Amino acid sequence: MSAVGRWAASGAAVLAVIGVAIWNQPGATTVTGTRSDGAQLFLVKGCSSCHSGPDTTASIGAGFPSLADAPTWAADRRANLSAKDYLTESIASPGVFIAPGFQPGQSGPTTGMPQLRLTSNEIEALVDYLLER
């Protein structure tokens, strides 16, 4: 690996550590349920580190599922779950269903999505943000 490649890999690892520290901060944001709350949470809670979203591109590389087009696929991901129910479950209990194509341990510095300690209002704001077009 070149010096630039090693530097970039080191930078990604540092960002991942910072992101995990942020993920574990409970209730840092007051949420009223607006789209801007969801967009802010997507950044503040570290979602945008690994996942591309409606307004963002993942900052630490590929390998994690993109959430940018969630309205086009979320309702079809699990039988008998609406898009809203699927995303709510995936955020609240990330290990219940692993997205197709995700390879734990091969997609960067983590083996899966962390527990984010989100309130029900925060989860609702994130889901609404991801499902708005």
Q: What CATH number does the domain containing 13 carry?
A: 1.10.760.10
Residue 21 CB neighbour total at 10 angstroms: 10
Whole-structure pTM value: 0.70
- Which residue did the predictor score with more confidence, 43 or 26? 43
Q: Is the pLDDT of residue 119 over 80?
A: yes
Number of domains in the chain: 1
pLDDT band at 13 (very low <50, low <70, confident <90, very high): very low
Domain assignment of residue 87, given as a range? 3-131
Alpha helices in 24-109 (DSSP H): 35-44, 47-50, 70-73, 83-92
pLDDT band at 103 (very low <50, low <70, confident <90, very high): low
CA distance 83 to 74: 4
User: Do residues 22 and 44 lie in contact, with contact meaning Cβ atoms separated by under 8 Å?
Assistant: yes
